[in-house]
Amino acid sequence: MRRRNLLNLTATACLALSVITVGTAGSAVASPGLVEAMQRDLGLTAAQANTRLAEEATASRVAPVAQEAAGTAFGGAWFDPERGKLVVGVTDDTAAHAVERTGAVAERVEVSAAQLDATKAAIDARAAQAPAEVSGWRADPRSGSVVITVQSGADSPELAAFLQQAREAGPVRIEEGPKPVSFAAGTVGGDPFYINGNVRCSIGFSVHGGFVTAGHCGGVGSSVTGWDGSAMGSFHGSSFPGNDYAYVGIGNGWWTAPVVLGWGTVSDALVRGSWVAPVGTSVCRSGSTTHWHCGTVLAHNETVNYAQGAVHQMTKTSVCAQPGDSGGSFITGDQAQGVTSGGWGNCSSGGETWFQPVNEILQTYGLSLVTA
């Protein structure tokens, strides 16, 4: 029999997030897609978008120089798209000329940035006393105040007391607005996550408190961020080799969902349990690189000898996978089977993949699946 190499399906995601660079002539060079996004979201033409990018790049370079020129009279700064210039507030007219020599526009304000920062810091110190009706607060140099946003119609004694204390700290303005919520998503099988900021793996299944995935993705204590770049949590348990499973505890607004992504190929699958699919039955896999693929269970309780060492009690399948799919979901119908470990081949020419059974992971860490 020809010997095949077994590959751990971990990928390093080198995400180049550069948006704008400045060319040698000082012109702004937009990254691909940025001008189109500005046209769509800001209602600009392509020419207007490119002009604005150049003006904003100039304003960004001028800002620290203009602030230094304003000295103690500095009252904050903001970009004015109508003028295409950085505007710098000054509390003293004598500072205006120095600011304008930097290329910024000087505008008289009554309150310095230092005063606003001090007022906001005093309110920050009382953040634990902020009632739920308060959505947030920010320093606003253009109005010369700290703006506190409260929900429309809010009128409680706790709110009144908080606002009174805020007004005692300095200039405050109240505005109404909706309560913001975290845009973090639920943990969904097959979705990507990133370990220590650069290694990408896939979520296996949501459990109460977090999710399970492959152990080779990260060690205990490794930090985890989600597909959107926001902090999720960290590895609370991990074993590899010998086993290839891990438990990631989550927080930071993330929540758990009993779902495995179908990636548009099929409908998302609900998870209702975790019975063991017999050899010969169909099984499907969801992962962040190759998305949704299916095959059959070929064997149970196989020992796979990776370069890093042997992993025991694995289930062999005819399903393909590729780097980055590690940790992703294996599911039959609505029954969780396991988390993707490794394999050979790819999803163009075919291959085989092994998974670590989910029930062993649940038993090891005392976890329970989130089910529909």
Contact status, residue 180 vs residue 168, Cβ threshold 8 Å: no
In this structure, what DSSP letter does residue 266 have?
B
Q: On the CB side of 43, how many CA atoms lie within 13 Å of its CA?
A: 1
The CA distances from residue 326 to 84, 97, 128, 287, in Å, are 48, 60, 41, 7
The encoded tokens of residue 369 equal 């699946």
How far is residue 307 from each of residues 202, 242, 246, 304, 310, measured CA to CA in Å? 21, 12, 19, 10, 8
Cα–Cα distance measured from residue 139 to residue 144, given in angstroms and rounded to the nearest whole number: 8
* Catalytic residue ranges: 216, 244, 326
Beta-carbon neighbour count of residue 265 at 10 Å? 12
> Of 93, 95, 62, which is closest to residue 79 (Cα–Cα)?
62
> What does the block give as tokens for 190?
């097959």
Task: Look at the chain and count its residues.
Answer: 372
| Run of H or E including 310 | strand 309-317
Peptide linkage before 278 cis (omega within 30 of 0):
no
Q: At what angle are helices 113-124 and 157-169 packed, to 10 degrees?
A: 140
The C-alpha atoms of residue 56 and residue 67 are separated, in whole angstroms, by 16
Q: How far apart are CA 256 and CA 81, in angstroms?
A: 42
